[in-house]
Copies of this chain bind each other. A is one copy, B any other.
Protein backbone atom coordinates (compact mmCIF):
# COMPACT_ATOMS: atom_id res chain seq x y z
CA UNK A 1 0.00 0.00 0.00
CA UNK A 2 1.10 3.57 -0.50
CA UNK A 3 1.61 6.21 2.11
CA UNK A 4 -1.88 7.70 1.93
CA UNK A 5 -3.59 4.45 2.62
CA UNK A 6 -1.15 3.57 5.37
CA UNK A 7 -1.70 6.94 7.00
CA UNK A 8 -5.47 6.60 6.75
CA UNK A 9 -5.39 3.22 8.38
CA UNK A 10 -3.14 4.40 11.16
CA UNK A 11 -5.21 7.57 11.47
CA UNK A 12 -2.28 9.89 11.13
CA UNK A 13 -1.17 12.17 8.32
CA UNK A 14 1.16 11.21 5.52
CA UNK A 15 3.45 13.97 6.71
CA UNK A 16 3.67 12.28 10.08
CA UNK A 17 4.63 8.99 8.48
CA UNK A 18 7.44 10.72 6.59
CA UNK A 19 8.43 12.50 9.75
CA UNK A 20 8.68 9.21 11.57
CA UNK A 21 10.85 7.88 8.81
CA UNK A 22 13.04 10.97 9.04
CA UNK A 23 13.69 10.43 12.72
CA UNK A 24 14.26 6.74 12.23
CA UNK A 25 11.10 5.59 13.90
CA UNK A 26 9.92 4.02 10.68
CA UNK A 27 12.35 2.18 8.42
CA UNK A 28 13.10 3.59 5.00
CA UNK A 29 10.27 2.36 2.88
CA UNK A 30 10.74 0.51 -0.35
CA UNK A 31 9.88 2.44 -3.44
CA UNK A 32 7.79 1.78 -6.49
CA UNK A 33 9.19 2.42 -9.94
CA UNK A 34 7.72 5.90 -9.74
CA UNK A 35 9.45 6.66 -6.46
CA UNK A 36 6.42 6.21 -4.24
CA UNK A 37 6.87 4.63 -0.83
CA UNK A 38 5.42 1.16 -0.67
CA UNK A 39 4.30 -0.32 2.63
CA UNK A 40 3.25 -3.69 3.90
CA UNK A 41 0.99 -4.73 6.77
CA UNK A 42 3.94 -4.86 9.16
CA UNK A 43 4.39 -1.14 8.69
CA UNK A 44 0.84 -0.52 9.75
CA UNK A 45 1.52 -2.75 12.74
CA UNK A 46 4.48 -0.67 13.62
CA UNK A 47 2.55 2.57 13.40
CA UNK A 48 -0.20 1.17 15.55
CA UNK A 49 2.41 0.12 18.05
CA UNK A 50 3.81 3.62 18.04
CA UNK A 51 0.37 4.99 18.67
CA UNK A 52 -0.25 2.63 21.52
CA UNK A 53 3.05 3.41 23.12
CA UNK A 54 2.31 7.10 22.71
CA UNK A 55 -1.02 6.64 24.38
CA UNK A 56 0.91 5.02 27.18
CA UNK A 57 2.83 8.27 27.32
CA UNK A 58 6.17 7.16 25.98
CA UNK A 59 8.11 9.68 23.94
CA UNK A 60 8.98 8.94 20.37
CA UNK A 61 12.57 8.55 21.48
CA UNK A 62 11.62 5.93 24.04
CA UNK A 63 9.45 4.16 21.53
CA UNK A 64 12.36 4.19 19.13
CA UNK A 65 14.55 2.59 21.78
CA UNK A 66 12.15 -0.25 22.30
CA UNK A 67 11.76 -0.72 18.58
CA UNK A 68 15.51 -0.73 18.06
CA UNK A 69 16.07 -3.28 20.78
CA UNK A 70 13.45 -5.44 19.24
CA UNK A 71 15.14 -5.14 15.85
CA UNK A 72 18.42 -6.15 17.45
CA UNK A 73 16.78 -9.20 18.91
CA UNK A 74 17.57 -7.97 22.39
CA UNK A 75 15.42 -8.88 25.25
CA UNK A 76 13.00 -6.02 25.23
CA UNK A 77 10.74 -7.24 27.98
CA UNK A 78 12.95 -6.20 30.85
CA UNK A 79 13.79 -2.82 29.49
CA UNK A 80 10.30 -2.16 28.28
CA UNK A 81 8.80 -3.13 31.59
CA UNK A 82 11.22 -0.88 33.39
CA UNK A 83 10.39 1.96 31.05
CA UNK A 84 6.74 1.41 31.76
CA UNK A 85 7.24 1.28 35.49
CA UNK A 86 9.16 4.52 35.36
CA UNK A 87 6.46 6.08 33.36
CA UNK A 88 3.84 4.82 35.75
CA UNK A 89 5.63 6.62 38.54
CA UNK A 90 5.77 9.75 36.42
CA UNK A 91 2.07 9.61 35.83
CA UNK A 92 1.37 9.19 39.50
CA UNK A 93 3.47 12.23 40.29
CA UNK A 94 1.69 14.16 37.59
CA UNK A 95 -1.71 13.23 38.93
CA UNK A 96 -0.68 14.28 42.40
CA UNK A 97 0.42 17.65 41.10
CA UNK A 98 -2.74 18.10 39.12
CA UNK A 99 -4.94 17.23 42.06
CA UNK A 100 -3.15 19.74 44.22
CA UNK A 101 -3.57 22.38 41.56
CA UNK A 102 -7.17 21.36 41.21
CA UNK A 103 -7.82 21.82 44.89
CA UNK A 104 -6.21 25.24 44.84
CA UNK A 105 -8.24 26.23 41.82
CA UNK A 106 -11.41 24.95 43.35
CA UNK A 107 -10.81 27.13 46.35
CA UNK A 108 -10.32 30.14 44.14
CA UNK A 109 -13.48 29.44 42.22
CA UNK A 110 -15.46 29.04 45.40
CA UNK A 111 -14.05 32.26 46.68
CA UNK A 112 -14.92 33.99 43.44
CA UNK A 113 -18.47 32.75 43.64
CA UNK A 114 -18.95 33.86 47.18
CA UNK A 115 -17.73 37.36 46.49
CA UNK A 116 -20.08 40.26 46.40
CA UNK A 117 -20.19 41.28 42.72
CA UNK A 118 -20.30 44.88 43.83
CA UNK A 119 -16.74 44.55 45.02
CA UNK A 120 -15.63 43.73 41.52
CA UNK A 121 -16.12 47.27 40.39
CA UNK A 122 -13.14 48.40 42.33
CA UNK A 123 -10.02 47.67 40.31
CA UNK A 124 -7.96 47.36 43.44
CA UNK A 125 -10.12 44.76 45.02
CA UNK A 126 -10.51 41.85 42.70
CA UNK A 127 -9.88 39.13 45.16
CA UNK A 128 -9.90 36.08 43.02
CA UNK A 129 -6.23 35.39 42.53
CA UNK A 130 -3.21 36.82 44.14
CA UNK A 131 0.06 35.92 45.61
CA UNK A 132 0.95 36.09 49.25
CA UNK A 133 2.23 39.55 49.95
CA UNK A 134 5.23 39.27 52.21
CA UNK A 135 5.25 35.54 52.09
CA UNK A 136 8.87 34.51 52.12
CA UNK A 137 8.75 31.90 49.43
CA UNK A 138 11.08 29.19 50.62
CA UNK A 139 13.68 27.94 48.28
CA UNK A 140 12.96 25.92 45.28
CA UNK A 141 10.10 23.60 46.05
CA UNK A 142 7.30 24.04 43.56
CA UNK A 143 4.43 25.76 45.18
CA UNK A 144 1.23 23.86 44.96
CA UNK A 145 -1.05 26.29 46.67
CA UNK A 146 -2.53 29.62 45.86
CA UNK A 147 -3.25 32.44 48.15
CA UNK A 148 -6.07 34.90 48.07
CA UNK A 149 -5.37 38.57 48.46
CA UNK A 150 -5.83 41.69 46.41
CA UNK A 151 -4.58 41.73 42.87
Q: Which residues of A contact B (CB under 8 A)?
A: 9-11, 45, 48-49, 51-53, 55-57, 66, 70, 72-78, 80-81, 84-85, 87-88, 91-92, 94-95, 98-99, 101-102, 104-106, 108-109, 112-113, 115, 117, 119-121, 123, 126-133, 135, 137, 139-140, 142-147, 151
Contacts and interface: CB of A to CB of B under 8 A. Distances in A.
A121 B144 CA distance: 45
21 contacts: A10-B137, A45-B131, A48-B135, A48-B137, A51-B131, A52-B143, A53-B129, A55-B145, A56-B101, A56-B108, A57-B105, A76-B126, A76-B128, A77-B115, A77-B126, A80-B126, A84-B109, A84-B112, A88-B105, A95-B95, A98-B98
Given A91-B98, A132-B48, A143-B51, A120 B77 contact: yes
A95 B97 CA distance: 10
A104 B56 contact: yes
